[in-house]
Amino acid sequence: MTDFLSGFATALQPVNLLYCFAGVILGNIVGVLPGIGAIAAISILLPLTFSLDPTTAVIMLAGVYYGAEYGGSIASILLNLPGTASNAITTLDGYPLARRGEAGLALLTAQISSFSGGTLGIVAMVVFSPLIVSFSLSFGPAEYFATLLLGLVAGASAIGAGPLKGIAMVAVGMLFGTVGLDLNSGYARFDLGIPNLLDGLSIVAVAMGLFGIPEVIANISASQSQEKPIAVNARAMYSAFRRLGTIVPSVLRGASVGGLLGPLPGAGPTISSFLAYSLERSTTRNPEEFGTGRINGVAAPEAANNAAAQTAFIPTMTLGIPGTPTMAIILGALMIHGISPGPQLVVDHPDLFWGLVASFWIGNVFLLMLNIPLIGVWARLVAVPRRFFFPVIVALVCIGVFGVSNSTFDIWMVLLMGVLGYVLRCFGFPPAPLLIGFVLGPMVEEYLRRALMISAGDYSYLFSSTTSIVIHCLTAGLLLWSILRGFRKKAPQPAG
């Protein structure tokens, strides 16, 4: 607790406050705009943060991430179009509420639930992070290898497109990760004689190419529906305050679901919000009212996705294992700054870790204070024609990636990854497992080879501690579950 309070000393420094504010505003904006997600925004912003202090950089990037969860609900409620994937479920009850003239109530519910969910997620992070750190400080290469393997399998099985597709994409991502100098032997792998490849593929180019460019290609020629978003002003929100009493249990349930699922590799805010909504339906006596505009149907998923957005940082920061592609990019940002997240980070750089956690709460307060009075502004932003955004994204991606190493080589890499990502997307292969494989792959190889070096090639060392056996069992269980789930899903439609 005192650690957390001391984090405010870091987070309240003017420069950190400024970038936290900038991060949450940007996050809110990309959340409000359907079609641009936090992951694209964060990879575009990455080059801009290289000149910053690492703490400030991560505070800003994290702000974009959880800020998008706030903004995403606004588009869901006013336009029936989810701003980000994790706000999709909010359209079910949020839009009907807005249609019958209660947009103010729906928006206020979403904002208050987001804030409460985020706050509870931060509390969970403050309580559990030190426990995980003290437990994982004893991890050796075998335990790290086991945890990373769990992260890879979770990344492969979470996409819901079948385990084979996930494994194939993770393998390709890990292959991309092997490009460059091999640290153990000094051998240059797949460098094709190009000096730029010796350092490996740039995570900025890979992330921008896989997540930013395919989004542009898929949406650039789409004609936008002419439907006007529902008008709303701040007064409608203030007058709705007294009607919020009934959402308290929904918020608590939603935040619990999100807080528990957030740290799990591959689960994340989107799955949390869907589960919270179905849990909410199952706890009421008249579930048929859901979908017609119940504020509990807005409160639970919004509390869940914000809680999950905060607790997702627990494994990323304390173990160095990102559960979602966005976390993989934030991990990559830290590594570019020469900081490798893990238990040692929390011990060696408590100001960074606790400053970040404290900034989360400050950012959540900023978002609440921004969104309620300024709701009219955000509502108008929903209506901006989206054709204006695509050239902006392409320009920011290309010039931004040039700045990483002041070379046009990375722009070509973005082009290659963008075309690959778009083609794979058209074939129904989501890019998230590829990025997770790309980030975790080199770490898996390093720990495996280090473990084998310690044990002189004896594989039983990998299973020599209770911790690693338990983690390997989890991995095997997860793999089995995703295979079985694949069979069950296909069963009702055998003829296809």
Nearer to other proteins, 29 or 103 (CB): 29
Site string for other proteins, 70-109 (x = CB under 8 A): ----------------------------------------
- Of 1, 2, 193, 388, the one binding other proteins by CB under 8 A: 388
Question: Is residue 155 part of the contact set for other proteins (CB under 8 A)?
Answer: no
The DSSP-derived string for 149-191 is HHHHHHHHHTTSS-HHHHHHHHHHHHHHHH-EE-TTT--EES-
Phi, psi (5° rounding) for residue 313?
-75, -15
Please state the closest distance from residue 64 (CB atom) to other proteins, in A: 16
- Of 53, 182, 289, 351, the one binding other proteins by CB under 8 A: 182
Nearer to other proteins, 154 or 424 (CB): 424
Question: Is residue 175 part of the contact set for other proteins (CB under 8 A)?
Answer: yes
Stretch binding other proteins (CB under 8 A), from 137-145, 256-264, 399-407, 465-473: 399-407
Q: Quick check: 72 and 87 in contact, CB under 8 A? A: yes
What is the amino acid identity at position 116? S
Residues near other proteins (CB under 8 A), total: 66
223 DSSP assignment? P
Site string for other proteins, 217-256 (x = CB under 8 A): xx-xx-x---------------------------------
- Of 150, 159, 169, 368, the one binding other proteins by CB under 8 A: 169
Burial 96-117 (b: 16+ CB within 10 A, else e): bbbeeebbbbbbbbbbbbbbbb
Report the relative pairing of strands 180-181 and 188-189 from DSSP bridges: antiparallel
Nearer to other proteins, 172 or 204 (CB): 172
- Of 438, 445, 472, 475, the one binding other proteins by CB under 8 A: 445
C-alpha distances in angstroms, 38 versus 20, 34, 265, 364, 467?
A: 15, 11, 18, 16, 34
> Which helix (DSSP H) or strand (DSSP E) does residue 344 occupy?
helix 343-348
Question: Is residue 280 part of the contact set for other proteins (CB under 8 A)?
Answer: no
C-alpha distances in angstroms, 70 versus 115, 118, 295?
A: 8, 10, 16
- Of 233, 248, 369, 412, the one binding other proteins by CB under 8 A: 412
- Of 54, 140, 376, 403, the one binding other proteins by CB under 8 A: 403
Nearer to other proteins, 24 or 414 (CB): 414
Burial 288-303 (b: 16+ CB within 10 A, else e): eebeebbbbbbbbbbb
Q: Quick check: 448 and 243 in contact, CB under 8 A? A: no
Q: Quick check: 393 and 214 in contact, CB under 8 A? A: no
- Of 94, 400, 421, 431, the one binding other proteins by CB under 8 A: 400
Question: Is residue 167 part of the contact set for other proteins (CB under 8 A)?
Answer: yes
Q: Quick check: 31 and 38 in contact, CB under 8 A? A: yes
Nearer to other proteins, 130 or 442 (CB): 442
The DSSP-derived string for 395-460 is HHHHHHHHHHHT-THHHHHHHHHHHHHHHHHHTT--SHHHHHHHHHHHHHHHHHHHHHHHTTT-GG
Enumerate binding residues for other proteins (CB under 8 A).
Answer: 47-48, 51, 164-165, 167-169, 171-172, 174-175, 178, 182, 184-185, 187, 189-190, 213, 216-218, 220-221, 223, 387-388, 390-392, 394-400, 402-403, 406, 408, 411-412, 414-415, 418-419, 422-424, 426-429, 441, 445, 448-449, 452-453, 456-459, 496
